[in-house]
Amino acid sequence: MEKRPIESKKFLSFLIAELTWKAAIVILLLANRESIPVGVLTIGLAIVIVAGFVEVGYILGQASLDRFVRVAEITAEKGIPKDVAPVPGSSRQQGA
């Protein structure tokens, strides 16, 4: 059985690293919020939040791609079961 992306060591280490530096930026922005204009503070926080979502989405996509490749390799090693219908246009012929 394949692991889910959240169980991946790569994903967890990436997530911890990303959360750490983003938390540091948020803490710095909020600690100095009196000296930073409201517009700049809002834009800074928005950038951090959006970057976090984009990066987590990217690494989840990579983890899913890794899983897909592993499943494809396992399937290629085992071969295609006889009860699976051939894909139209493939080189596999009926009854071959």
Tell me how far apart the alpha carbons of residues 87 and 26 are, in angstroms, rounded to a whole number: 52
18-37 pLDDT tens trace:
888 888 888 888 888 889 89
The band of 16, judged by pLDDT with boundaries at 50, 70 and 90, is confident
Q: Taking Cα atoms as reference points, which of 68, 55, 53 lies closest to residue 2?
A: 68
Confidence at residue 90, expressed as pLDDT on a 0 to 100 scale: 58
Report if residue 1 sits inside a domain: no
- With 60 as the cut, is the pLDDT of residue 68 above it? yes
Report if residue 55 sits inside a domain: yes
- Provide the domain count of the chain: 1
Question: Do 48 and 30 meet the contact criterion of CB atoms below 8 Å apart?
Answer: no
Question: Do 63 and 8 meet the contact criterion of CB atoms below 8 Å apart?
Answer: yes
- With 60 as the cut, is the pLDDT of residue 61 above it? yes
Tell me how far apart the alpha carbons of residues 76 and 70 are, in angstroms, rounded to a whole number: 10
Report if residue 87 sits inside a domain: no
Report if residue 61 sits inside a domain: yes
Q: Provide mean pLDDT across the span 27-51.
A: 87
- Domain that includes residue 62, residue range: 7-78
